[in-house]
Amino acid sequence: MEEGVEILEVVFEKDGVFLHTSAKRQQDQDSLIPGVIRIIEKTSDVVVQWMPVNEIGDAPQIVYSKKESPGNVVCRAEEDLYDPGYEPDWAVISTVGTRARASEEIPAPAVKAGPRGKWAFSLSLSELKSIRKNKPGLGWSYLIFMTKDGVSIQALHFHHGGTRALLKALSKYVILATSPKDSRLYLVYSHDSYALSHSFDELQLFDDNSSHLVSRFLQDPYSATFGSFSKVTNFFRGALKPHDGSQQRPLSEMAMGLEDEPGFEVITCQANLGDRPSVQRQLAVTEQEWEKHVDADGRVSGVEDLKKRIFTGGLSPGLRKDVWKFLLGYYPWESTSEERKVLLRRKTDEYFRMKLQWKSVSEDQEKRNSLLRGYRSLIERDVSRTDRNNKFYEGSSNPGLVLLNDVLTTYCMFNFDLGYVQGMSDLLSPILYVMQNEVDAFWCFCAFMELVHHNFEESQEGMKRQLLQLGLLLHVLDPALCDFLDAKESGTLCFCFRWLLIWFKREFSFPDVLQLWEVLWTGLPGPNFHLLVACGILDSEREALMSSDYGFNEILKHINELTMRMSVEDVLCRAEALHQQLTACQELPLNVQEVLGLAKVKSPTHSTESDGSPQPLSPSQTQELELTDSVSPSQPDSSIEILPTEDTATPQSLSP
C-alpha cells in the first residue's frame, strides 16, 4: 500500500467486473478490461474503487476528478467511443487523478505503464450523485456511477452478477432513492439532517407559495405533491410507484412482506367493534379552575384530573403560557414557585451560553464550517415564510422573526446530532407565539422535540412506523375505506405524511392548532392519539371519497384541499369516539392493542445476528424489499435487486 494512504477495511469486494472501453456491440477482447470492484472504509471517508485485475497488486490510490489540473493523469476521451446504441444518454468524460488540497500540491502517483492502468478509479461516496442501472434483457447487467460534477464513469459490467450485493453494501453508507422520473436511476443522498432538509424542501411540503403549488398540483397532482417522496425515505418508493401490470397490494399482504417489523402482524379476522359512542367536547379550563389546583407554595395538585379536563376541553388562552410549561415537562408538576424561579435562572444561563456559541462565530470561521452555514441558510429561508400572516410574525423587521431564527439556531447547538430539519420552524412558531419569551420558548420547544424527534431523523423509520400503525388502526376501524384506498393505489396513506410529520400544523387554523397540541400533550387517553386524529379526519371524509369514486389523483387533490377547512372540535370528538370504540372491543388484534397502549409492546430478543428473530427494517432492508419485487425470474441479475441475507425473509415471502 502506498505510503500516506490508510485503508481501514475492505468491506465489499467483487471480481468479474469488466470495464468496457468501447460501447460498440461488436467488441474486441482489448475493449473488455476485467477488474475488481471494492468498497473501502478509510479513516475519514468511504470510497468505491475499481482496479484492473492484473494491476491490483501495486495500483495507485487515485480519486476521481472532473477537471484537469497539473499532475493529473488524464485518460483520452474519444467522442465516438462512449456512444452505445442501446444507452444514448451516456455522456462520459474519463479523468482520473489525485485530489490535491488548495494549500498544497501533491504529485500524481505513477500509474503503471500498462494500457489498462489508466482506467482505474476510486470515487468517494460523498462525490457520488447517482447510479444508473441497465435496461432489462440487454445481456450483462451494468452500473454507471455519476459524480456531483455531472461526469459519468464508464459502465461497469458484472459478468458474474453482483449488482444487487454491491447496492446493498452501498446502502449502509448512503440513501439510494429511485428517481421519480426514471426508474433505472438511483439518486444518492448522504445520511445527515441537512440533506434531509433539502429533500423536504424539494417536496415543497412547507412552501407558502400556494398559488404556484396549486397550479402544479392541478397540472400533475401525483408528481407535484408526492413524486419526490422517494428522496426522503425508501418506504414511499414502492408504494407510490407500483410496478406496471400489478395492482397495489392490500395492507394485509403488505404486512406479510414486512414481517420483520416487530409489532405488525397480519390481521386475519375482522374485529366486531360494536356501535360508536357519541362524544361531546367540554368547556375550556378557566383560570379560576386552574387556581383551585395550585396550593399556597405553587404546587399543582390533582394532576391527572386536570389533564383529563385539558384533554376534554383544552385551555383558556390566558392559561397557555403557564400550563404549557407543565404539559411539556419544562416545569415539574410537583415543583414550588421558588423552585421554578431557580430552574428558570439556571435554564436562562444555559440557553444564553449556547446562543453565545454561534453568535461568537466570525464570518471567517463560518466560511470553514459548512454544516453551521447550511443550517443557518435553511433556518433563514424557513423563518422568512413561517406564519407570516400572523401578526406576531408579519412584516420584514418583526422581532418575532429574529426570536424564531435565534431559537432554532440555538437548538442546533443544543442537539448537534439532529441539527435543523425543515418543518421544525412550524413546531416552534406556536410555542414562541404563546410564550412571548425566547428562553421559555426554547425549552418548551426542546421538550416538544423529545416527543417528535424521530419524525426528523434521516432514516425516516419513525415516519414509516407511524404510517404502518395508522394503516393498522384504519384497517380495523374501516376496512371498506381501506379496500377502497387500496383499489385506488392509495392504501399506503402517504397523503397523511405531513399530518404526522408536524402534528397537523398546516391542516388547521392557528388557534385550532394551539388547542389540538395541548390536548395531545396530555398523553391521554393513551399513546398515539395523534394517529386517531388522522383516522378522525379520514372518517369525516370517507363518504366524500367513496361516493365520488375518486381515483388516485382525485384523492390527493381532495386531501390537499382540506387544509384550513376542518373543525378541530369535530375531529377531536371523532378521534375520542374511535378510541372508545376500539378499547371496548374484546377481540382487538394484539398489534392494535400495542399501538393504543392497551398491551405492552413485545421487545424482540437477540440471541445471534442470524437467529432469524424479527428485526426493524433498516433503510437497506427496505431497499431490499422494493428491489426484489422487480426481479425477473428469467434474468436474475439483468435489473438491480438486493440479495437476501441469512437473517432476512426468503425471496418467496417478499414477493406479492
Give the model's pLDDT for residue 203.
52
Across the range 357-386, mean pLDDT stands at 94
Least confident of 230-244, 291-305, 518-532: 230-244
Predicted confidence (pLDDT) per residue in 40-59, tens digit: 988 888 999 999 886 444 43
> Which tens digits make up the pLDDT trace of 194-221?
666 665 665 555 544 433 433 333 333 3
Cβ-in-10-Å burial (0-12, 13-18, 19+) of 618 comes to middle
Highest mean pLDDT among 65-69, 72-76, 332-336, 459-463: 332-336
Distance CA 253, CA 656 (A): 7
The answer to whether residues 555 and 488 touch, using CB atoms and an 8 Å cutoff, is yes
Distances in Å between the Cα of 447 and the Cα atoms of 330, 428, 440, 452 are 7, 11, 11, 9
pLDDT value at 126 more than 50: yes
Backbone angles phi and psi of 13, in degrees to 5:
-150, 135
Q: Is 236 in contact with 491 (CB distance < 8 Å)?
A: no
DSSP assignment, residue 128?
E
Superfamily for the 461-596 domain: Ypt/Rab-GAP domain of gyp1p, domain 3 (1.10.472.80)
Mean pLDDT calculated for residue range 405-429: 96
- Res 532: pLDDT: 98
Would you state the pLDDT for residue 217? 33
pLDDT for the residue 154: 84
- For the segment 481-515, what is each residue's pLDDT rounded down to a tens digit? 999 999 988 999 999 999 999 999 999 999 999 99
On the question of pLDDT at 243 being above 50, the answer is no
User: What integer pLDDT is reported at residue 489 of this predicted model?
Assistant: 87
Distance of CA 168 to the CA centre of its chain: 19
Residue 326, pLDDT score: 98
pLDDT tens digits, one per residue of 609-626: 333 333 333 344 334 333
For the chain, the domains span: 1-23+30-56+118-191, 192-219, 317-453, 461-596
Cβ 618 vs Cβ 235: under 8 Å: no
Rounded mean pLDDT, 641-652: 34
Query: CB 218: neighbour CB atoms within 10 A?
Result: 11
Residue 111: which pLDDT band, with cuts at 50, 70 and 90? very low
The Cα 574–Cα 532 span in angstroms is: 8
Task: Identify the pLDDT of residue 93.
Answer: 26
In single-letter form, the type of residue at position 241 comes to K
The full length of the chain comes to 656
Task: Inform me whether the pLDDT recorded for 61 exceeds 60.
Answer: no
pLDDT band at 104 (very low <50, low <70, confident <90, very high): very low
CB of 134 within 8 A of CB of 141? yes
Q: CA-to-CA distance for 329 and 325, rounded, in angstroms?
A: 6
Class of domain 1-23+30-56+118-191: mainly beta
| pLDDT level of residue 139 (50, 70, 90 thresholds) | low
| pLDDT at position 200 | 61
Which H or E element spans position 177? strand 174-178
> Is the model's pLDDT at 247 over the cut of 90?
no
The three cell numbers of residue 306 are: 386536570
Average pLDDT over every residue of 508-537:
97
C-alpha closest to that of 588 among 275, 279, 267, 278: 267
Q: What is the mean pLDDT of the chain?
A: 75
Alpha-carbon distance 411 to 404, whole Å? 11
For residues 418 and 93, the model is more confident at 418
- For position 249, what pLDDT does the model report? 38
Q: Would you say residue 130 has pLDDT above 70?
A: yes
How much is the pTM? 0.60
Identify the helix (H) or strand (E) that includes residue 73. strand 73-74
State the CATH class of domain 317-453: mainly alpha
3-state DSSP assignment of residue 215: helix
- Give pLDDT, residue 173: 87
pLDDT band at 116 (very low <50, low <70, confident <90, very high): low
| Mean predicted confidence (pLDDT) in 547-554 | 86
- Do 212 and 204 meet the contact criterion of CB atoms below 8 Å apart? no
How far is residue 355's CA from residue 413's CA, in Å, rounded to a whole number? Answer: 8
What whole-number distance in Å separates Cα of residue 88 and Cα of residue 547? 47
172-193 residue pLDDT tens: 888 888 777 777 888 888 766 6
Bridge-based pairing state of the strands 95-97 and 73-74: antiparallel
**558 has pLDDT over 50:** yes
